[in-house]
Amino acid sequence: MWSSKPTKIGRILVRFRTLAKTIPRVSGVLVTDVQTYSYIAGFLDGDGCINLQLVRRKDYVLGYQIRASVTFFQRTVHRSFLEWIQSVLGAGFIRERKDGVAEYSITESRMVLNVLSNLTPYVRLKKMQCNLVMSVLEEMLSSKRLEPAHFLRLARQVDRFGELNFSKRRSIRSDQVEAYLRSRQLLIP
């Protein structure tokens, strides 16, 4: 027999759906206040991840890509909370993993820069990571085409980011990028 009393999860879902409806919009455009950004920044500090990595790309002239991402994690039963954050930030996608965790990821460079620009003033634990990612993205996005020496300099910043995150599994480093660029005679000694 079904109880008319809502479950704890049911109450949480109703609260998040109600909260999502309260986000102000002007002509369909989201207007977010300081309190909302500071709340999301706290969530990023606790259950989020900021990443900057080098990715091998055989279809790229320089052989590698610098990829930035912002990811939030939550148990799948609380997916609606991630959907609320997605509606506030206006970017990214949510996927459910097989281990019962949902992750909300933002990977498009301009959107990562936009999101971090809005959240960084309120981030506490990951402020250095935010600032470094924004610096790298601003340099990347301001150039139509990165010269090999400039790309290598940014790749070294990615290494620095790995040190900030105490990364142990980072497999591609700037020295590999440099070796590749030299082997293709893209770097002038």
Query: For 122-156, b where at least 16 C-beta lie within 10 A, e where not — what string?
Result: bbeebeebbebbbebbebbeeeeebebeebbebbe
User: Considering 10, 46, 90, 175, which one is annotated as catalytic?
Assistant: 46
Tokens of 71: 């990811």
How is residue 163 written in tokens? 């040190």
Instruction: For residue 158, give the nearest of 57, 42, 55, 24 by alpha carbon.
Output: 55
Which residue is associated with the tokens 């470094």?
132
d(CA 23, CA 36): 9
Active-site pick, 42, 45, 47, 159 = 47
**From CA 129, how far away is CA 152, in angstroms rounded?**
19
47 annotated active-site: yes
According to DSSP, residue 91 is labeled -
Annotated active-site residue 175? The verdict is no
The residues annotated as belonging to the active site are 46-47
